[in-house]
Amino acid sequence: MIAVVEAERRARGWRSSQYPIFEPVLTAAEIAEVEAQYGVELPDEYRTFLAEVGAGGPGPALELTSLRRVDGKWGWVWDEGDPLLLDPSGPFVETEEWADQQIATLNAAGYESTTRDDDDDYLDDYRVVFGDAGDEVWHEERVRGAIHISDNGCGMTSWLIVVGPRRGELRDRDCATNPPFEPYVDVRGNRHTFHTWYLEWLEQREREAQ
């Protein structure tokens, strides 16, 4: 895949990719450390990728986040920033369940939302209830149970569900349309897992390079 991407870039007169290689694979012991730290079992397809392909590297759109140990703790790193952590305290909340979940959270904090809108992200309500911490609390609620698995540029991100009934599936997030997280699907409408999502991208890039 790396050779395909680099050949394509050379043919177009572009410079080499800034994400040219896969990160080293993780050992079984290191993967076990990650799972023990978070108290979860990673989806099998992702575990296999970490053990046999790499802990980060080229991926759909831009690149995969890199699973690294930083200051003694494991997290997912994007663009050399602070590690992104998994919150395994509850299942990932699907988009169609989001409004009810947020109303319940706000009511539990003693605040009654004035709106009931499936497309409302409730961020303003969170800011009223939680003050300066409102944005952080809202974000934690939205991504609980999922890993930020790749960055696609311009606020577009991909998430791998780790906790809940849809464990192992991928979701697409566009920051311009909070709060929807939309399932990635193949041409038949089947929801992607990590393996099918990544393989589809590889096959597409190979076709484009021919």
- Host domain of residue 127: 94-143
Judge if 131 and 155 occupy the same domain.
Answer: no
Judge if 160 and 83 occupy the same domain.
Answer: yes
Judge if 27 and 104 occupy the same domain.
Answer: no
pLDDT of residue 61: 77
pTM: 0.85
Judge if 203 and 99 occupy the same domain.
Answer: no
Judge if 169 and 81 occupy the same domain.
Answer: yes
Residue 171, domain CATH: 3.40.1580.10
pLDDT band at 2 (very low <50, low <70, confident <90, very high): low
How many structural domains comprise the chain? 2
Judge if 77 and 168 occupy the same domain.
Answer: yes
Q: Starting from the edge strand earliest in sequence, which strands make up the sheet with 63-64, in order?
A: 57-58, 63-64, 146-153, 156-161, 170-174, 181-183
Separation between Cα atoms, residue 155 and residue 177, nearest integer Å: 10
pLDDT of residue 210: 65
Pairing of strands 181-183, 156-161: unpaired
Judge if 12 and 59 occupy the same domain.
Answer: yes
Judge if 38 and 66 occupy the same domain.
Answer: yes
pLDDT digits (tens, 9 = 90+) for 44-76: 999 999 999 999 988 887 789 999 999 999 999
- Higher-pLDDT residue of 120, 82: 82
Report the SS3 class of residue 161: strand
Separation between Cα atoms, residue 124 and residue 145, nearest integer Å: 23
Most confident of the ranges 30-34, 117-121, 133-137: 30-34
- Higher-pLDDT residue of 41, 113: 41
**CA distances (Å), origin 155, targets 62, 65, 105, 130, 151:** 12, 14, 26, 24, 8
Judge if 51 and 113 occupy the same domain.
Answer: no
